[in-house]
Structure 1
Amino acid sequence: MTLFSKIIAGEIPSYKIAENDRFFAFLDIFPATAGHVLVVPKIETDRIFDLPVEYLEGILPFAQPIAKAIQQAFPCDRVNILTLGFEVPHVHVHLIPMNGMGDADILAGKKKAEPEELAAAQAKIITYL
C-alpha cells in the first residue's frame, strides 16, 4: 500500500481539499508555493499513462474546479500542473499556483509547511470550491 493509498484510506492524516469515487485531492505538506495541491487517483498505479482510460479522462475535469479555487485563494498568474511521480510510486498531479518558472521547482528548498499554514490554505481553497 502506497503512502497516498494510506492517506486516501484515512490511515495518515491529510489536509483534504476534494474527493469523489475515483480521485482524492489534498495539500502537499512540502509545498512549492502556498496552495500546492496533489491530485491522486484512488487506484495504485505508478505511471500516469498506465492509468485506465476513464481515469486519464477524469483527472483533469476533477482537477479543474480545484485549480480555479486555488487561483482565487492564492492570486497568481496561473495554476500549472506537473506530473513527476518519482517520489511516491502512485500517480499524482501537482497543482501549483505560479507567478514564474521558478515556482515550478518543487524540489528546491523543500520545506515542510507548518500545520497552521496548511489548515489556513485548506480553508481558503475550500471556500472557493
Structure 2
Amino acid sequence: MSTLFTKIVKGEVPAYKVAENSQFLAFLDIRPNVKGHTLCIPKKEVDKIWDLEEDVYQELMRFSRRVSIALEKTVSCKRIGMAVVGLEVPHTHVHLIPLNSMKDMDFSNHYEMTDEEFKSLAEAIQANVEL
C-alpha cells in the first residue's frame, strides 16, 4: 500500500511543494514545528533512510542542502536544523526546521498557518531554490 508521501508524489494528495526534481520532492510539513518546516523525500518509497542505496542517500543530502539554503534565505532564523525521525510515515524523509532556539526542534510544537500562508511561503521558498 502506498504511503501518504507516495500519494503526494503521485499527485493523489495535495502538498505545498517547494522543490522537485526527477528523484526528490520537498514540501512544507502541514503540522510544522515552526514556520517553514519542510520535508525532503525520495520519490521512490523506501521506509528507512539507511535502506537507501548509497548514491540515492548522497543525492538526497545534496537536494536537502539546496532546499535548506533556500529556506534560510526565505524564513528568518539563526540556522536550519535537520532531523531524520521517520516514525510518522514509513517513507524516508528529512525534516528541515528553521531554528531560533532548540525548542523549535520539539516535535510536540505545532505552528498554525492558513492555506494562504502555506501557499505564499511555498512560493517564496521555490523562488530561492537553485537545483
- TM-score interval (norm. to shorter): over 0.9
Instruction: Identify the residue that residue 71 of structure 1 maps to in structure 2.
Output: 72
Structure 2 CA distance for aligned equivalents of residues 73 and 60 of structure 1: 20
Instruction: Identify the residue that residue 105 of structure 2 maps to in structure 1.
Output: 104
Contact 2:34 2:111 in 1 (8 A): no
SS at match of 1:79: strand
The one-letter amino acid of 1:119's match is: K
Per-residue CA distance 1:90-127 (angstroms, 9 max, x = gap)? 0100011001110001223x355321110111122112
Instruction: Identify the residue that residue 128 of structure 1 maps to in structure 2.
Output: 128
Structure 2 CA distance for aligned equivalents of residues 51 and 107 of structure 1: 28
Structure 1 CA distance for aligned equivalents of residues 79 and 14 of structure 2: 28
Q: What TM-score, normalized to structure 2?
A: 0.92
SS at match of 1:96: strand
Runs of 5+ consecutive residues of structure 1 not aligned to the other structure: none
Deviates more, 1:54-63 or 1:86-95: 54-63
Instruction: Check 1:112–1:46 CA distance in 2 against 1; reply closer, same or farther (3 A cut).
Output: farther
Runs of 5+ consecutive residues of structure 2 not aligned to the other structure: none
Identity of aligned residues (%): 41
Q: What TM-score, normalized to structure 1?
A: 0.94
Instruction: Identify the residue that residue 119 of structure 1 maps to in structure 2.
Output: 119
1:42 correspondence with 2:61:
no
Structure 2 CA distance for aligned equivalents of residues 112 and 54 of structure 1: 36
Structure 2 CA distance for aligned equivalents of residues 39 and 14 of structure 1: 12
The one-letter amino acid of 2:53's match is: P
- Number of residue pairs matched? 128
Structure 2 CA distance for aligned equivalents of residues 64 and 86 of structure 1: 22
The one-letter amino acid of 1:70's match is: L
